[in-house]
A and B are shown apart, each in its own frame.
Chain A
């Protein structure tokens, strides 16, 4: 609905501008040759009305257009998020920023392209009709004018499509090239000839697109000029003293002004298509969910192997509560293994819980805490409540903060964390993540490098807390360091396998 209001307002705005110019020209020509009976009041009123319509529809178009853009954008983005209900996007972190640009291009199609072109086509049609009624003998000039301009727009559209997809490819290449380049920053000083990044081809393509747009506009002017000359030489003699003549002349002369919005919009469609393709190609890796009705009392991994890292498969039997340590340095594949045990990663082999074979998928009564804790852009309270089934009162949250050695944050529950808010230190983020495990009430915890980035006394404290909790549940820790007071029930060294 808003879409059509936007369309109508935009077209009215464009057409009113053109008609105002043409009608004003006609009006002064008519005044110049007016007889005594010329009713000049009505056209004068009409001119002022056109001006007001133009101004009002201009503002309305921008307002509704923007409203429509924002609504569309949030709809696209929400539907993207809904796709994640049962899966994860296969991608790296930075491609999410690219995704942001793509959703904008998708939402922009209507006001960026459809509306502009609808205006242009309608104006060309009106021009032809005007010829038909006012100068039927010169109709062919009107038809030629409209058709050639339409052809020029279509030609520009196809060039813009090509250039835009070329540019999207070039940008994609630059992203992956610069990713490798930046990744290796610590090696640059070892090169004889330092590596570099060059983005010139992308800018060149952009400039080419702008030049092509300008060229098309110059060609429309050229066509207008040639047809005007033709009209003046061949036909104008028949219409001497006709005020409508001026309308034709001004129409042909001002063509650039009223075709500019449509010409400059042609690349938007290509951007839309590229974005659509990209978003459709976003593959979703399904994330399965497994429910285990009873409390987990034993876990058996048989011939168990995670996708990356360790080449050999492992066997692990956990029969009672306590802490199990998977020891390994970075690159040993312990993260991949821990995620596979939890069910976030695929695995080969068997995973048995409480004597039952459990298929691939996250076990809902377990909790996995990442090596690099993720903090949501939200309040501290919301970051903690993420882990709870229903929102807890502040007293419980404060209790969890106290447990995780974050008492200094208990007065900051409503503080915003993350982007444009409070930045937590690495150690604080780590402990916040473990506070989430505490709040989740899970009966198995899988902790990836929980001690990394903590000062020695903080490591000791956390270790003590885990020792206490582990009396009642299974805690699997993957780590390359651990404090002396950690009571380890069972330990596997992954590096030595």
Chain B
């Protein structure tokens, strides 16, 4: 049952991967035509070679210069086609990757923080560094190669048929056997892999886990103990991996087996035929014999190439696993209007569901949002600003202040303006409002002070700076998501007082599970068991 589900899921991912061809349809068609032309020119080239062999060795007549010129021209044509092919591969790859990058950026722009925080930074970096190019590889190399692996054997067999039907027939019969064998070995490998899957995952993760947690190992003085753990884990990991790959390699070997044996048998068959020892099919000469010998391996060559690209398929499926759930999300468009009052009925967010029978916000109101940690206060705020899917969203300029202040690794001015056009005068005015003016004046470079990786600020100062940014945004509605969660009681009181004072003229929704004076607020919303109640 679960394996069925997994297979269905994988099929869905492959369909999605194939849809990515849309970014470069024209080039892909062109690539396929060029590839087939290249195979045909190669066969023509080999045919000329065979003719020369017949002349030189059997008929013992020298080759005329004009025939050599013909050979060179056909050869060069083949090289030119292959050159165009490699250019097309790159072009398709870049087109597909760019399109995916654009789609990803759109999703990030639309869901912002609520999307980013679902995964580690490494996970996101892998999207750009490996997942997107993996899809590019799949579309530009693997899929065209798959087509060739299917088509070329048919072309070759049809070219062999008029020359020697028994060889063509044997190839035609044996060709489908190869994929069948590969499939059988593939599914055998998959089942062995499944058997070892969890162990491989766990053992594989152990080593870097211990490096990551080296500090913990020092604290516990457990280096020797953990070295023992690692030694036995890597021994086991290697043993189990070899069990899986020993089987996986058989797949490559089957292909090698068929193509090598085919060549050996064809050589012996042709040789004996030329000697007159064997007589099946029409009598052949050296030209035809060599033609058969050289063309037979071509049947397997593209399949072998496909095998060489095989890792691209698994990489692409892993990439689709990561990209598909992100990119198939609908994008909601944001438009900003002025607002006066909001009166929503049957409000509800998606995943997790937080619902409210009615939500009313009047301009200028201050609303406190209550709820235990984990009740969904952040979810509600992120839905209101539009980072999450919900039945309604605020359609006016909105700013969100979170509990973790972010200080950019650049100078103080950039940290405040965020590349917006804001005069120094206004900056100083806002710094005065958040009571940072004195501190900034005390810095040697004032607004141009670099913040660096370890900003010389306390948590309270950082939160003031964050507030200054929000004030500079001129947003009408301000959402506060536990802005004092990580501060001490005294700091909480100071910062809360300041927020209350500075945001007097704004519409504010303030989530906090630390106590705040009830008289500051016009409304109190409480989230409990996924429902918002208002009073």
- CB of B264 within 8 A of CB of A47, answer yes
Residue-wise, chain A 312-343 has the 8 Å CB interface mask toward B (1 for contact) of 00000000000000011111110000000000
A17 nearest CB neighbor, chain B only? B260
- CB of B129 within 8 A of CB of A202, answer yes
Chain B residues with CB under 8 A of A163: none
Q: Is B231 interfacial (CB 8 A cutoff)?
A: yes
- CB of B267 within 8 A of CB of A24, answer yes
- CB of A24 within 8 A of CB of B223, answer no
> Which residues of chain A from 231 to 260 have a CB within 8 Å of any chain B CB?
232-233, 236-237, 239-243, 245-246, 249-250, 253
Could you tell me the distance between the alpha carbons of A208 and B93 in the complex, rounded to whole angstroms?
Answer: 12
- Residue from A100, A211, A246 with most neighbouring chain B CB atoms (10 Å): A246
Q: Is A215 interfacial (CB 8 A cutoff)?
A: yes
Chain B residues with CB under 8 A of A20: 260, 263-264
Question: B281 → chain A, closest Cβ, in Å?
Answer: 15
- CB of B272 within 8 A of CB of A51, answer no
Question: With A24-B267, A32-B286, A50-B264 given, is the CB distance from A218 to B83 under 8 Å?
Answer: yes
Question: A296 → chain B, closest Cβ, in Å?
Answer: 16
Among B13-21, B28-36, B52-60, B319-327, the one that faces the other chain is: B52-60
A249 nearest CB neighbor, chain B only? B49
B72 nearest CB neighbor, chain A only? A229
Question: With A94-B121, A179-B121, A180-B408 given, is the CB distance from A331 to B461 under 8 Å?
Answer: yes
Residue-wise, chain B 57-84 has the 8 Å CB interface mask toward A (1 for contact) of 1101111010010011001100100110
- Residue from A99, A185, A194, A382 with most neighbouring chain B CB atoms (10 Å): A185
- CB of B487 within 8 A of CB of A480, answer yes
Residue-wise, chain A 324-366 has the 8 Å CB interface mask toward B (1 for contact) of 0001111111000000000010000000000000000010100
Residue-wise, chain B 72-107 has the 8 Å CB interface mask toward A (1 for contact) of 100110010011001101100110011001000100
> Which residues of chain B from 252 to 290 have a CB within 8 Å of any chain A CB?
252-253, 256-257, 260-261, 263-264, 266-268, 270-272, 274-275, 277, 285-286, 289-290
Could you tell me the distance between the alpha carbons of A34 and B286 in the complex, rounded to whole angstroms?
Answer: 11
- CB of B459 within 8 A of CB of A192, answer no
Q: Is B173 interfacial (CB 8 A cutoff)?
A: no
- CB of B458 within 8 A of CB of A495, answer yes
Q: Is A204 interfacial (CB 8 A cutoff)?
A: yes
Among B183-191, B240-248, B352-360, B526-534, the one that faces the other chain is: B240-248
Could you tell me the distance between the alpha carbons of A218 and B76 in the complex, rounded to whole angstroms?
Answer: 10
Give how many A residues have a beta carbon under 8 Å from the other chain's beta carbons.
140
- CB of A66 within 8 A of CB of B242, answer yes
Q: Is B120 interfacial (CB 8 A cutoff)?
A: yes
- CB of A97 within 8 A of CB of B208, answer yes
Chain A residues with CB under 8 A of B117: 185
- CB of A174 within 8 A of CB of B128, answer yes
> Which residues of chain A from 70 to 104 have a CB within 8 Å of any chain B CB?
70-71, 74, 77-78, 80-82, 84-85, 88-89, 93-94, 96-97, 99-100
Chain B residues with CB under 8 A of A40: 271-272, 275, 277
- CB of B256 within 8 A of CB of A54, answer yes
- Residue from B86, B267, B372, B487 with most neighbouring chain A CB atoms (10 Å): B267
Chain B residues with CB under 8 A of A29: 53, 57, 286, 290
Chain A residues with CB under 8 A of B488: 327-329, 480-481, 493, 495
Chain A residues with CB under 8 A of B205: 377, 418-420
- CB of B124 within 8 A of CB of A178, answer yes
Question: A365 → chain B, closest Cβ, in Å?
Answer: 10
Residue-wise, chain B 275-314 has the 8 Å CB interface mask toward A (1 for contact) of 1010000000110011001100100000000000000000
Could you tell me the distance between the alpha carbons of A237 and B68 in the complex, rounded to whole angstroms?
Answer: 13
Chain A residues with CB under 8 A of B439: none
Contact of A188 among B63, B98, B113, B216 (CB under 8 A): B113
Among B144-152, B159-167, B397-405, the one that faces the other chain is: B397-405
Q: Is A467 interfacial (CB 8 A cutoff)?
A: no
Could you tell me the distance between the alpha carbons of A289 and B89 in the complex, rounded to whole angstroms?
Answer: 57
Chain B residues with CB under 8 A of A421: 202
- CB of A203 within 8 A of CB of B94, answer yes
Residue-wise, chain A 370-400 has the 8 Å CB interface mask toward B (1 for contact) of 1000101110001000110000000000000
Chain A residues with CB under 8 A of B62: 236-237, 240
Question: A451 → chain B, closest Cβ, in Å?
Answer: 12
- CB of B86 within 8 A of CB of A362, answer no
Among A3-11, A57-65, A401-409, the one that faces the other chain is: A57-65
Contact of B289 among A32, A218, A253, A327 (CB under 8 A): A32
Q: Is B250 interfacial (CB 8 A cutoff)?
A: yes
Q: Is A144 interfacial (CB 8 A cutoff)?
A: no
B225 nearest CB neighbor, chain A only? A386
Question: With A206-B133, A364-B221 given, is the CB distance from A214 to B82 under 8 Å?
Answer: yes
- Residue from A51, A70, A370 with most neighbouring chain B CB atoms (10 Å): A51
A13 nearest CB neighbor, chain B only? B256
Chain B residues with CB under 8 A of A32: 57-58, 274, 285-286, 289
Q: Is B454 interfacial (CB 8 A cutoff)?
A: yes
A260 nearest CB neighbor, chain B only? B308
Q: Is B331 interfacial (CB 8 A cutoff)?
A: no
> Which residues of chain B from 215 to 235 have a CB within 8 Å of any chain A CB?
215-223, 225-227, 229-231, 234-235
Ordered by A's residue number, 11 sampled pairs between the chains whose C-beta atoms are within 8 Å are A28-B289, A38-B275, A40-B272, A47-B267, A70-B241, A77-B234, A88-B218, A191-B419, A246-B53, A249-B53, A418-B209
Which A positions have Cβ atoms within 8 angstroms of B?
Answer: 17, 20-21, 24-25, 27-34, 38, 40, 43-44, 47-48, 50-51, 54-55, 58-59, 62-63, 66-67, 70-71, 74, 77-78, 80-82, 84-85, 88-89, 93-94, 96-97, 99-100, 171, 174-175, 178-180, 182-194, 196-200, 202-204, 206-208, 210-211, 214-215, 218, 221-222, 225-226, 228-229, 232-233, 236-237, 239-243, 245-246, 249-250, 253, 287, 289, 308, 311, 327-333, 344, 362, 364, 367-368, 370, 374, 376-378, 382, 386-387, 416, 418-421, 436, 440, 453, 455, 480-481, 493, 495-496
